[in-house]
Structure formats: C-alpha cells, structure tokens
A and B are shown apart, each in its own frame.
Chain A
Amino acid sequence: MQHIVIIGNGISGVTLARHIRKLSDKNITIISAESEYFFSRTALMYVYMGHMKFEHTQPYENHFWKKNRIGLVHGYVKQVNAKNKNVLLSDGKTITYDSLVIATGSKPNKFGWPGQDLEGVQGLYSKQDLEKLEQNAPNKDQCKRAVIVGGGLIGIEMAEMLRSRDIPVTFLVRETSFWNGVLPKGESAMINEHIKEHHIDLRLDTNLKEILPDENGRAKAVVTDKGETIKCDVVGLTAGVTPNIDFLKDSGIELGKGVKVDRLLETNIKDIYAIGDCAEQQEPIGNRRPVEAVWYTGRMMGEALAQTLCGNPMEYNPGHWFNSAKFLDIEYQTYGWVFSERTKKDYESHFHWRHPKEKISITIAFHKETNLFLGINNFGIRLRHELFDRWLNEKRTIQYVLEHFKDANFDPELYDTYEDDIISKYNADFNQNIRPKNKSWKRILNLH
C-alpha cells in the first residue's frame, strides 16, 4: 500500500489527509511537532481570552484519527532525504514515504531588531506562543504594559487579547493608517477610530528601533523611530509571517520565500509536494500572491492535492478570492478584489458608504469604464458568499449587484437593514437611478 507522509497537522495537511481517506485506502501518516492533535490556529486568541478552552479549538474528537486510519506522529522533522525517500525526526527515527507533502505553515517575521530575542519578546503563531503569552502576560499586575509591533490581522488580535485582561497596550503601526496597504482609506480610518475606542494606544507611522533589556535579560522598554522610549513588560512581534521551511535548506527541494511548487503543487522533486502557508507558486495566480498565508487557501490546496494523489491530477485553481477577519468588535468580509489606494489598479473605481453613527461600511470596487463588479469589502454587515461568487462568475455590473443587494444580506433576522441607504448614496454619487429588488429565495438558491 502506498504510504503518504504529511509534515504538518495544520488545516492544509489535515484537509489533505481527510480527503485522501475519502478517496482511497492509502496509508497516511501526519508528522507534526506542535501539538498531538489538529487544532484551529485561528482560535488561539479565544483561549487566552477565556472564551474557549484549548480542547475546544480541536475540530475533531481524539478518536477521529484512529477511526479514519490516519496515523499521527508527534515529532519534529529535521531532514528530508529525497534520494532514499525518507524523513529523519529529531529523535533519530526515520520514516519512509512514497509521496511526501510539506505542510509546515509559517513562523512570525523578525526583522533583525536589536533585542528581538529577549525574554518577554514573542510572536503569536503557535500553541507554544500562546503558552508563552500566558506566562509573560498573565494579568495587568505582572504585565503593566505591552507593546505590539506590526499592524496586521494578528497584531490587532493580540491587542484584543491583552485588553481582555485590562493590560494597557501600545500598538506600533508602520503605516500612516491601520492596514492601509490592504484597506481603502475610509475603512482603514474607521478601524483606527475603533482601535482607540478600545483604549488601545495606537501609534501610526511609527517603527520599532530597538528593544531594551533589563538586568535579567528581559525586555523592559522599546525605542521607536520617533525617539520615544516606551516602558513595557511584553513585546509582541506581529509584523507578518514567513514560510517555516528552514529544515529543508539542504534537501535539494527548490526554495524561494517558500517551497516552490507548480500548479499541481509538486516541487522540483517528483513525489514531493507542498501546500498551505509554506507553498510558493512559481507564477502568482491572478491577483493572488505567490505565498498565500490564509486558512482558506490551505484548505483548498489540500482538497485539490488529494485528487492528484489519488490518481486524478487536478491543478490548484482557486475560485474567486474571499476572506474575512474581525477587528475587535467589527466583522469584516471581502469577496473579489478591492484594493487600497496604494495598490489600486488604474481601471478600478470605488463606491464607499458608511453608516452615519455605527461602525458599518461597505466599499465596492468596479471597473471605471464597463462598470463590471470587481469586489466588495463589508464591515459590520454580513453578506452571502454564494451570491458574490456567482455574480463574479457571471461578470455582473455594480448596478446589477446593488439592484439585487437584498438577496445578499446575511445579517441575523430582525436586524436593521441598510440596502436602501446604500443604494440612494450610490445613486447620488454616480447619478444613477437604481431601485433595489425585494429579496427572492428563488434567486438566492438558484431555483427554477
């Protein structure tokens, strides 16, 4: 029986294993160093905040793996030996494979800041990071202030975590407005306001210069590029992530930023594949980045590669981009592509609406000339994935999308609705006369 070995039990490796099991009887082994069982990395914050216990982050009960004959090895792979088709674990064991899949995820970026390896300085990626944070910042008496460096999605999660224990937080953000490399300025500004509402000391346009140690080698303060020294007990480094592939350096596998793969997710060496955060496409797909470090893409690569490994070669060919996040209390979803002012295409135009009082807004990107709908960002309103996916497939115009906007509402029942306000703003901004259609189940479910 063919033996498939997967390094990494994150969402990509586990999705792959599950789908291989559905399709075949092959031997499957997952080797992973971080935790015995698969857990959801995206939920780490909720453990620190006391919303969940760690066991709740595990999507499958422990007996699941045995029942589905998915072998689990808790260990660290030191080396991949492609010639002999085996991997060497740090405890000296070797495991041979017929196909090897690298799904080792990411690790936090460190940019060579002085003091970046001091006690009390940490990223937030792994279960061990969570345990470290519990040690470093158990409460506001032992951690009188934390400084978070890097204004991305993990940075704001870390700020929220610490605030849940009333720990004062200073948030250093390189950009002039939060996440404005991704978000258009109206939305980015709204998030700035919301961060401050949560009593987080937001420092925009500010870089870390160095971290100062105390006599015991613990971080005691940071110095910013504005020359300011901020006393603190914990420094969170959340300036992005990078593929976790150092152990592959001498393996002969072609590496760039990540493990280089073709569209079948195969590396330069036959029978070795890479998926998830650590995979780097030789050519970017559409507007996507060559390394996509998000949950959904890891899962989709797993779904696709399972087909290939089970004798039905299938390229990784993701559909329309979508993503979601939560900024403190504001939910965010996006479908299709909406670029920020910094990265906007020259044909891309934006329509923006924001609620006069609440933190609710949308931005729709459309083609200047053809009015083709390109994408939407929605904050504080939930929208239906299925419809936007369909509208993008059908190449609808922004007018069509707005006309049928009520179909797309995914907020809970009995919530206030904003379609009428949104559409009248659009009509006023662009001198149009669109009238919203009533919600239709027939259209939503595509029934005929």
Chain B
Amino acid sequence: MSGIDKSMSLAGEPPKALNGGQKASVLTGMVGLGIMVLQLFNLHFGNNTLWLSISLLLILLGVAWFSYASYEHKQEGIKNDGVWFKSISSRGILGWMTGITLTGFYIVLYFYPEYLGLVQDGDNRGLIALFDPLSKALSGNPASQWFVYGTLYTLAILAFGIKFMWKYRHSSYQRIRTLSVMFFQTAFAFIIPEIMARLNGDLPYYDLKNMWPLNYYNFERYRVNGFIEAGDIGLAMLIFGVLSIFVISPILTYRFGKRWYCSWVCGCGGLAETVGDPFRHLSDKSKFAWKVERWVVHSVVVFVTLMTTAVIYSYLGNDSSKYWLTKTSFLVGVAVILTAVFAWAMLFKRDQLQKDAQYGAIGYFVIIAVFLGMHFFSGEGNIFLFKSSTLRTSYSFLIGSIFSGVIGTGFYPIFGSRVWCRFGCPMAAILGFQQRLFSKFRITTNGGQCISCGNCSTYCEMGIDVRAYAQKGENIVRSSCVGCGICSAVCPRGVLKLENGPQEGRINSKDVLLGNDVDLMELVNKK
C-alpha cells in the first residue's frame, strides 16, 4: 500500500486538520498576540489603552471560539481523540517550538526585562508600555515586567479555563474546580494586591492565597517591616501569613486533601490545569521518576526551611528586652517545631512510611539539627556555613526562577504540566506529607472493576501510576496527588472516586480483589 506511512509505531493518522471555526479562531487569537509582538519591537500604534484592550480581547475571544469550534459539535464526554498524534501534544515539532518559545520568554522575563521595554527611571517602552494604562488604573503605578506577566498569566488561565470547561462540560467537578482557579487567580493574585497597593502604599504586594514556603520571601526583613509599618492591616496580614501555614492549611488539608490548594486555589496549579491541560499526559510515570521526585522535592523543603530560618535569624536581635523574639528563641522555636513533626511521624506513622522515606526523614532531620546546633558553637553571621543572603539569592535563582518558571512552565510541552509542582514545589511537598499521613482524602478504587487499561495513569499529570493501585483494588493515597480528578474522569469503567471519608479503612492493601471467592479473599488478604 503506497501513501501509508509504515513507520514502526502504531500511532497513525487521525484527523489532524483543523476545521473552519478552529482556523478562524486561531487567526483571531494570533492577531491579538501579534499586536503584542509588534509592540515588543516598539512599533507603536498610539493609544495604548485601546490597543491593549483589543489585543487582550482578541486572545480571549480566539481561545474561547477555538474551544467552541472544537467541542460544540461533539457529544459530551472524554475528548482525548488524537492526543498522541498531534504534534503539539506529543512532543512533536510544534511541542518543541512552543517549549522553546516559552522558555525564552521566561529567561527574558526573569533576567532581561529591559528587552520587554522596562525602563527603570523614566517611561516604559515596548510591551511594558502597552500595559501602563491598565496598571495605572489598578494600582496607580506604571507597569513592571511582573505586571505584564501577571496580566498575561491571568488571561491565560481565564481563556484556557473556558476551554477546559468546554472540554469537560459533562463533569461538574471539573467545571466548578476550574471556576475556582479562575476566580482565585483573577481576584486574589491579580486584582486585590493591586488595589491594596493603591489603598495603602506601604503594604508589600501580597497575594493572600500564597503562603510560605511558596512565597519563600514572605518573612524577609523588608516585607516584615513593610507589614508592620502599614499598621493594623499590615500586622493582620503578617499574622494571617503565619496562620495560613500553621493552622488554616493543615485543617483544610486534613478535611479535603491537598487538592483544596493545589488544584482549586493555587496559581501555579491553575495554570497547569488550564494552559497545561493539553500536556498533562507527558509526565513520566516510571518508578525511577517517582524516586527522583521524592528526593528532589524534599531536598527543596529542607533548603527553603534552612534558608528562611537563616534569613529571619539574620535580622533578629540578641536582646530579649528590646523585642521578644531573639535569635536564640527563634532558633529554639524552629527546632522544637521540626522535632515535634519528626517525632510524630516516626512514632505514630512509621508503618505508613516506606523504608527510604524513613531514612530520608532521619537524614534531613540530622542535617537541620546540625545546622541549628552550629549556632550555639559558632560566631555571628555564618551559622549556616553560608551567609543567609547567599542562601537567599541562590534559592530565588535556582528554585524561584529557574525551576518554577523556566523549567516548570517553559517545559510544559516536553515534561508535562506539573514538573514544578511535582519535583520542585516545597509547599506541595509539605501539604503532601500531611495528605499522606493525616487527611481524610483518598481516591477510592471500586472493588474489582479495573480493567488495567491505563487511561488513569496516562492522564495523571503528577505521574502517579494510578493503575498500579486500581488493578489491585487498592485505594490511592499518594502525597503527590493534587486531586485534579482527571484519572477518575478518564476511567472508562467508573473505578475511581475522589472522596473525603474516615481515616479508618483509607489505606486498604489487597491481594485478591472483590468479586472472587469469599474464602480466598479472606485467606489471602488477612494480614
């Protein structure tokens, strides 16, 4: 047979061509984007307000129209036809090009904002100038590269959120969850901080839904001073920042699992779930990747803990009569909290930790203990071997910029949408630790109904091999699960249900599955 590509792969030729509506909508969106690109090269159109509005609206319209043209004529249901055939979503040439473009954008954004048109003293130019009117309307200040980024980020979540909702229009869990990330991004990350800045100029920029260690800089000297100088409201925000990591998030994670944050509220999660959705299946499912994930992400937690401790330590005083929190009492406090968590996990939850997790925990604990202990034996300034400011800059460069931005988002089309959340995010690791050991959340496996087809594992953005549990009739209780619910949605046999229930019976390892001989099940499954 001529004309047929007999390449060894089974991947064939789906209808790859776009339909008329899709073509027109792509054009629309591209015109919107084109306006920004031209602006980037300083081709001014005049009236920034007008052109910015046109550009943003065209992009939004383009994506929404594209979604409509893609899904409107189809029955409600799972829409994964051709995912592994399309160049963009199967690491094809389009995928690589998108990845490289995104990565380039992040590098410019983080390290060379002047190319975007940022001018330190004086009027912005290029792309950033285009956003000045909007920024001035919200906060009263001219735009910065971060404002441009924030606006585009929010626009992306909104536009692709609409697409996601069309795609999953049969699933109210997915629709409501997506509305939630769209809302939190727009209100909490984008509008409220800008307005707060307008109302009270002293307040540091604060996205209230971001908590330490995601905003690892939250307790730095200039911010803490800023909060305190801003008066009661600033103080309230500072207290809120502490409460959110020590009280609010543990309670919510206990009740709902870490999904309350990672796939309902978080901005990084929001982008991954919407813009990143076409790439979710590219995550690595191998056991090896899982191992790398555990070591890397927990090392980041240790890093951020040390770094934050060092940073706070560096600006505290020694004299308790001046301020109640001194260098020493702070370190003791940190040590007590860490020891308490460590002891609790080792004493009560040991049976639920794998061997290497136990070793890892012990190792990390020793490292932190040694560093803290060194305080008492060494002089000022170098308690952590490195200067706190060195730790701080290396963290913000390595983790804050390279990992979360350049690799985390730039590489969506190559490694999938949750690389950062999985390998890098210390917040996700802390919530995950709790989800694994102290939460009501689980994914229940429906008895013996699994046919091992693999849809769930393939579409798990966190690279969890969901099938490995489901085909054994076992519930999925994994620290990395962000509760996106896609495994449950794509399962063709109704095997998986995300739910919150009693902790008793949550982890249920089984050898013989429901449906077989009752005696055999008892014989084999009894411990």
Which A residues form the contact surface with B (CB < 8 A)? 11, 19, 22, 40, 42-43, 46-54, 56-59, 61, 130-131, 134-135, 138-140, 142, 164-166, 197-198, 295-296, 299-300, 303-304, 307, 312, 314-320, 322, 324-326, 328-329, 331, 333, 382-386, 389, 393, 410-416, 441, 444-445, 447
Contacts and interface: CB of A to CB of B under 8 A. Distances in A.
**Which residue, B77, B85, B86, B448, has most C-beta atoms of chain A within 10 A?**
B448
B493 interface: yes
Contact of A300 (B76, B82, B516): B516
B449 interface: yes
Contacts of B231: none
A40 B467 CA distance: 11
24 contacts: A22-B511, A43-B452, A47-B11, A50-B80, A50-B85, A52-B455, A52-B458, A56-B454, A59-B452, A59-B467, A131-B10, A138-B13, A139-B15, A318-B516, A319-B521, A322-B449, A326-B493, A328-B77, A329-B75, A333-B449, A382-B497, A389-B515, A410-B446, A413-B499
Given A164-B81, A324-B449, A389-B447, A441 B502 contact: yes
A413 B452 contact: no
Contacts of B4: 135, 138, 142
A319 B493 contact: no
Contacts of A314: 517, 519-520
A317 B517 contact: yes
A198 B75 CA distance: 7
Given A40-B452, A51-B455, A164-B81, A385 B485 contact: no
A164 B84 CA distance: 13
A166 B15 contact: yes
Given A59-B471, A322-B515, A329 B76 contact: yes
Contacts of B13: 138-139, 165
Contact of B14 (A164, A315, A382): A164
A54 B516 CA distance: 29
A384 B83 CA distance: 31
Contact of B493 (A317, A324, A412, A413): A324
Contact of A328 (B75, B511, B516): B75
Contacts of B251: none
Contacts of A333: 449, 493-494
A37 B328 CA distance: 60
B466 to A, nearest CB: 11
Interface in B504-521: 504-505, 511-521
B321 interface: no
Contacts of B493: 324-326, 331, 333
Interface residues of B, number: 71
Given A51-B80, A382-B497, A447-B504, A412 B173 contact: yes
B333 interface: no
A50 B84 contact: yes
Contact of B517 (A11, A318, A325): A318
A413 B174 CA distance: 10
Contacts of A322: 447-449, 515
B81 A51 contact: yes
Contacts of A11: 452
Contacts of A318: 515-517
B453 A42 contact: yes
A234 to B, nearest CB: 13
Nearest to A11: B452
Given A295-B451, A389-B514, A382 B494 contact: yes
B454 A40 contact: yes
A393 B447 CA distance: 15
Main secondary structure of the interface of B (DSSP, over half): loop
B492 interface: yes
Nearest to A444: B501
Contacts, number: 212
Contacts of A329: 75-78, 170
Interface in B475-527: 485, 488-490, 492-494, 497-499, 501-502, 504-505, 511-521, 523-524
B3 interface: yes
Contacts of A312: 523
Contacts of B347: none
A43 B455 contact: yes
A26 B12 CA distance: 42
A439 to B, nearest CB: 10
Given A324-B449, A415-B173, A304 B77 contact: no
Contacts of A382: 446, 494, 497
Contact of A51 (B1, B84, B176, B523): B84
Q: Which 8 A-B pairs give the minimum distances between C-beta atoms? A: A385-B447, A329-B77, A382-B494, A43-B453, A50-B82, A317-B517, A42-B451, A51-B80
A61 B489 contact: no
Given A51-B84, A59-B468, A319-B516, A43 B454 contact: yes
Interface in B53-88: 75-78, 80-86
A385 B505 contact: no
Given A385-B446, A413-B499, A414-B176, 8 more contacts: A50-B14, A50-B82, A51-B80, A303-B520, A307-B523, A326-B492, A386-B447, A445-B504
B484 to A, nearest CB: 11
Interface in B396-442: none
B10 A130 contact: yes
A333 B281 CA distance: 27
Contacts of A416: 172
Contacts of B170: 329
A148 B516 CA distance: 34
Nearest to B497: A410
Contacts of B447: 322, 384-386, 389
A219 to B, nearest CB: 14
A61 B287 contact: yes
Given A139-B15, A324-B494, A385 B172 contact: no
B514 A414 contact: no
B354 interface: no
**Which residue, B447, B455, B494, B517, has most C-beta atoms of chain A within 10 A?**
B494
A130 to B, nearest CB: 6
Given A40-B453, A52-B458, A441 B517 contact: no
